[in-house]
């Protein structure tokens, strides 16, 4: 049996499951297409007509409707890289018992994040400082 056949067979057992699956698939399409109209159409369905498991989902979607629409407009912007950097710094901090001062801790962070904005600026400042010292000599 293929995956599609398995899904079709399972959906044939229960109408609520079939309706929930259809709603879920339509929601995924609306988000992938970044379509405000498709999302509004899904949220216009009375929540009492949906299966019990989806009623809370729809209430949550309605509550965050404005944010979802904004994410359609500005979907290319994300705070994922910042969250990743923050997580790495927290891991270093958790294991940083041996650092004697903040300068060493900061240097360890910059070594762990070589392509971050702060590390690149730190390298540029350091290079400029070294160049200025060699010119003075």
Residue 43: count other Cβ atoms within 10 Å of its Cβ. 16
**Neighbour-count burial for 88-126, b at 16+ CB within 10 Å, e otherwise:** ebeebeeeeeeeeeeeebeebbbeebeebeebeeeeeee
Say if residue 39 is exposed, middle or buried (CB neighbours under 10 Å; 0-12, 13-18, 19+).
buried
Give the residue, 59 or 104, on which the prediction is more confident.
59
Question: CA angle, corner 115, sides to 111 and 116, nearest 5?
Answer: 90
Taking residues 25-42, what's their average pLDDT?
Answer: 93
Quick check: 58 and 43 in contact, CB under 8 A? yes
Give the confidence band of 94 by pLDDT, cuts at 50, 70, 90: confident
Please say if the pLDDT value at position 137 is more than 60. no
The pLDDT, as a whole number, for residue 81 is 81
Neighbours of 11 (CB within 10 A): 15
What pLDDT band is residue 87 in, cutting at 50, 70 and 90? very high
CA distance 31 to 21: 15
Question: Rounded to 5 degrees, what angle do the CA atoms 113, 117, 122 make?
Answer: 80
Candidate from 37-46, 92-101, 123-132 with smallest mean pLDDT: 123-132
What mean pLDDT is reported for the chain? 84
pLDDT at res. 130: 65
- Round to whole Å and give the CA distance between 136 and 106: 28
| Percentage of the chain exceeding pLDDT 70 | 85
Q: Which residues contact 23 (CB under 8 A, 6 or more apart)?
A: 42, 45, 50, 54
pLDDT over 80 (residue 121):
no
């Amino acid at each position: 049996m293929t995956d599609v056949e398995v899904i079709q067979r399972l959906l044939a057992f229960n109408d609520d499951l079939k309706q929930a699956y259809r709603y879920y698939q339509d929601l995924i399409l609306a988000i992938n297409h970044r379509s405000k109209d498709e999302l509004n159409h899904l949220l216009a369905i009375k929540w009492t007509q949906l299966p019990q498991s989806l009623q809370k989902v729809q209430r949550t979607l309605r509550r965050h409707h404005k944010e979802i629409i904004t994410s359609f407009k500005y979907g290319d912007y994300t705070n994922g890289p910042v969250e990743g950097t923050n997580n790495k710094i927290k891991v270093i901090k958790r294991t940083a018992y041996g650092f004697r001062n903040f300068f060493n801790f900061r240097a360890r962070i910059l070594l762990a994040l070589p392509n971050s904005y702060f590390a690149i600026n730190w390298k540029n400042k350091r290079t400029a400082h070294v160049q200025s010292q060699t010119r003075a000599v």
